[in-house]
Amino acid sequence: MEVLRVILMVVLIIISLVITVVILMQEGKSAGLGSISGAADTYWGKNKGRSMEGLLVKLTRICVVLFLLLAMVLNMGIWS
């Protein structure tokens, strides 16, 4: 049981590092003055989900869910 706990802790640390790197790779959400004139409704703005930025957002959400689940499992106290 202790080996499984150590493995889960290592996976939790790796996921936390992945979350940090993925969040730092993302662009800022501020559109600046372009949003005032409606420049946010460009082709890039409409298809952002299929771009690298959209992939990073999805990866962030998946990693955060995994992180929370692992943290809850490790904190349940069934390892003692």
| Residue at 68 is within a domain | yes
| Residue at 4 is within a domain | no
Structural domain count of the chain: 1
CA–CA gap between residue 80 and residue 76 (Å, rounded) = 10
Q: What is the pLDDT of residue 70?
A: 95
| Residue at 60 is within a domain | yes
| Residue at 57 is within a domain | yes
Structural domain including 55 reads: 48-80
| 15-38 confidence digits (pLDDT tens) | 999 999 999 998 876 655 555 555
40: tokens are 């946010």
Instruction: Give yes or no for residue 69 having a pLDDT over 70.
Output: yes
Q: Has this prediction a pTM greater than 0.95?
A: no
| Residue at 42 is within a domain | no
Which positions ≥6 away from 67 have C-beta within 8 Å? 12, 15, 16, 19
Quickly state the pLDDT bin for 52 (edges 50, 70, 90).
confident
